[in-house]
């Protein structure tokens, strides 16, 4: 069953019972879009909570466990991540079991920030050698609290991601949803302890001891306004996930192909040219975008100005020349204190089909992020939550920081470090 058809099936079922859907949804099954706003910019949708506060609330509220999958961890005294790291250490000392999973490739970026966490009781850190297993990296950014609450989205565990980069994430409170993420985390946690891919493949086919959240068996959630969302998670790559979870690439292609009127996309980089992996052409997302545009769907794409590097700039121009596709790139102004390396950038990864279906993820749109690199995402339906995401997109699309990509113009890539 196509995932957006699942949404309509749930809606029809709810209407047929003549009972309000929201009343039937437990209070602990909530859905909340979260945004990081670079300081001294006009970003920030009113009413949408900020990442740092949400993270701090989740960590401080932990009673039993906190499991973190992080690309890297970069803390800085006095910045927004510092109180989160402090709270993490405090919860571990109070008896909460904390597990942190980091990839090996960018471990050097984390070494200084995780050193103060070493030796704390109840806190364990493992390094996952994704590079030697698949040739990719651990790029996911999610964490689970007490097997009941999940945060997933574009922000890294980096002080800049909370105050100097535009990010989008989502917090979901639902035990079955959290257990699905927990099962994927456990799979990779054990793989970090025993990096044996053939053994992991044997483990991957074992059935779960609970009903996981999938495209065919999603969860019903509601936001703070009482609007309903139907959601399921998806993961990459297939080789580093249990076989019974959904994978991101086919789910994202399905989302794009479902569009009938509009397709809004905001992602840091986008290319069908393979840079990290077997050189060549990656048709999956590219074909879907060109197909919906050819069918008359209005496609709007925002990328970061970091995507203007060659040959990605030329690839984006190949989209921009097509009827019904407009590509814009975002250039944030410098921070008030001056240049900050690897910051002041559009780092979101989300997409919206029409006005009722969407996705929020952790990976950029390139072959490696779906095929050899660990990433995660949430796919959801529901006009209420999706309307919030549309407001964020439209605010950026019509805002002061974007420029329309013109195929006949050569753009100089920005300095980012």
CA nearest to 32, candidates 227, 255, 268, 266: 227
The number of CA neighbours under 13 Å toward the Cβ of 101 is 28
Phi-psi group of 235: left, alpha or beta (phi > 0 → left; psi -120 to 50 → alpha; rest → beta)? beta
Choose the catalytic residue: 57, 76, 86, 146: 146
| Distance separating alpha carbons of residues 271 and 369, to the nearest angstrom | 11
Nearest to 395 by CA among 37, 10, 20: 37
- How far is the C-alpha of 233 from the C-alpha of 218, rounded, in Å? 9
Cβ atoms of residues 241 and 212 within 8 Å: no
Describe the crossing of helices 51-60 and 82-93 by its angle, rounded to 10 degrees: 10
Distance CA 280, CA 88 (A): 43
DSSP 8-state secondary structure symbol assigned to residue 313: H
Identify the active-site residue in 246, 347, 354, 396. 347
Give yes or no for a cis peptide into 333 (omega within 30° of 0): no
77-88 b/e (C-beta count within 10 Å ≥ 16 → b): eebbbbbbbebb
Q: Report yes or no: 45 and 34 within 8 Å, Cβ to Cβ.
A: no
User: CA-CA-CA-CA torsion for 389, 394, 400, 405, nearest 10 degrees?
Assistant: 110
Angle between helices 175-193 and 197-204 (to 10 degrees): 150
- Find the catalytic residue in 141, 166, 222, 328: 141
Kindly state the helix (H) or strand (E) to which residue 300 belongs, with its residue range. Answer: strand 298-304
Active site residue 347: yes
Burial 292-323 (b: 16+ CB within 10 A, else e): bbeeebebbbbbbbbbbbeebbebbbebbeee
Active site residues: 139, 141, 146, 347
């Amino acid at each position: 069953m196509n995932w957006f058809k699942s949404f309509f099936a749930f809606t029809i079922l709810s209407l047929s019972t003549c009972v309000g859907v929201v009343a039937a949804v437990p209070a602990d099954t909530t859905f909340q879009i979260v945004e990081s706003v670079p300081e001294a910019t006009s970003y920030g949708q009113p009413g949408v909570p900020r990442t740092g506060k949400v993270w701090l609330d989740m960590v401080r509220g932990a009673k039993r466990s906190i499991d973190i999958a992080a690309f890297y961890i970069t803390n800085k005294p006095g910045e927004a991540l510092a109180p989160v790291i402090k709270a993490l250490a405090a919860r571990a000392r109070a008896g909460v079991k904390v597990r942190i999973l980091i990839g090996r490739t960018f471990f050097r970026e984390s070494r200084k920030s995780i050193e103060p966490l070493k030796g704390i009781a109840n806190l364990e850190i493992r390094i996952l050698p994704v590079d030697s297993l698949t040739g990719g990296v651990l790029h996911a950014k999610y964490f689970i609290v007490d097997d009941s609450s999940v945060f997933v989205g574009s922000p890294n565990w980096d002080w800049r991601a909370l105050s100097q980069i535009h990010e989008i994430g989502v917090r979901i409170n639902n035990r079955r949803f959290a257990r699905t993420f927990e099962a994927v985390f456990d799979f990779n946690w054990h793989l970090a302890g025993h990096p044996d891919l053939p053994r992991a493949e044997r483990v991957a086919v074992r059935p779960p001891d609970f009903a996981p959240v999938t495209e065919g068996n999603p969860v019903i959630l509601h936001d703070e306004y009482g609007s309903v969302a139907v959601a399921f998670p998806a993961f990459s790559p297939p080789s580093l996930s249990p076989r019974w979870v959904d994978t991101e690439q086919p789910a994202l292609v399905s989302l794009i192909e479902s569009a009938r009127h509009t397709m809004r996309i905001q992602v840091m980089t986008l290319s069908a040219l393979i840079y990290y992996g077997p050189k060549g052409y990656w048709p999956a997302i590219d074909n879907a975008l060109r197909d919906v545009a050819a069918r008359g769907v209005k496609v709007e794409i925002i990328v970061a100005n970091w995507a203007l590097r060659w040959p990605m700039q030329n690839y984006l121009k190949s989209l921009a020349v097509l009827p019904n596709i407009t590509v814009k790139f975002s250039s944030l102004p410098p921070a008030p204190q001056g240049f900050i390396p690897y910051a002041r950038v559009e780092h979101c990864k989300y997409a919206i089909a029409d006005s009722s279906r969407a996705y929020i993820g952790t990976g950029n749109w390139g072959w490696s992020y779906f095929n050899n690199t660990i990433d995660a995402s949430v796919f959801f339906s529901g006009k209420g939550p999706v309307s919030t995401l549309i407001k964020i997109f439209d605010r950026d699309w019509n805002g002061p920081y974007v420029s329309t990509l013109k195929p006949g113009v050569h753009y100089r890539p920005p300095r980012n470090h």
